[in-house]
Amino acid sequence: MDRKALEEEIRRVAYELYEKSGCIPGRDLENWLEAERIVLSKYGLLEQKDAPITEAGAEEKPKKGRCGRKSESRQCGKGIKKEKCKKS
């Protein structure tokens, strides 16, 4: 498949995604990137990565617990004793 035909199919799929999502404005980049992923994987042209990639291209970091502290009883924030530290 040539580049022009591939781009046209991505454009068509991106528009379909736009319509299916309720024609929400401002999501053109997300729709385009998703359409690229769909079309390129359809033809086996998508590179597979080990780590998930965010839209900005940076690797996602694993999420930490609430505040990373042990859940022992202590003073937290406003002088209130709590069993777990919860971010306000």
Give the model confidence (pLDDT) of 62-80 as tens digits. 555 454 444 444 444 545 4
How many folded domains does the chain comprise? Answer: 1
Of 33 and 51, the one with more pLDDT? 33
Domain region containing 7: 3-42
The answer, as to whether pTM is greater than 0.85, is no
> Does residue 73 lie in a domain region?
no
> Does residue 29 lie in a domain region?
yes
What is the spatial distance between Cα 83 and Cα 39, in angstroms, rounded to a whole number? 50
> Does residue 74 lie in a domain region?
no
> Does residue 17 lie in a domain region?
yes
> Does residue 12 lie in a domain region?
yes
Whether 75 and 83 have beta carbons less than 8 Å apart is answered as: no
What is the spatial distance between Cα 12 and Cα 17, in angstroms, rounded to a whole number? 9
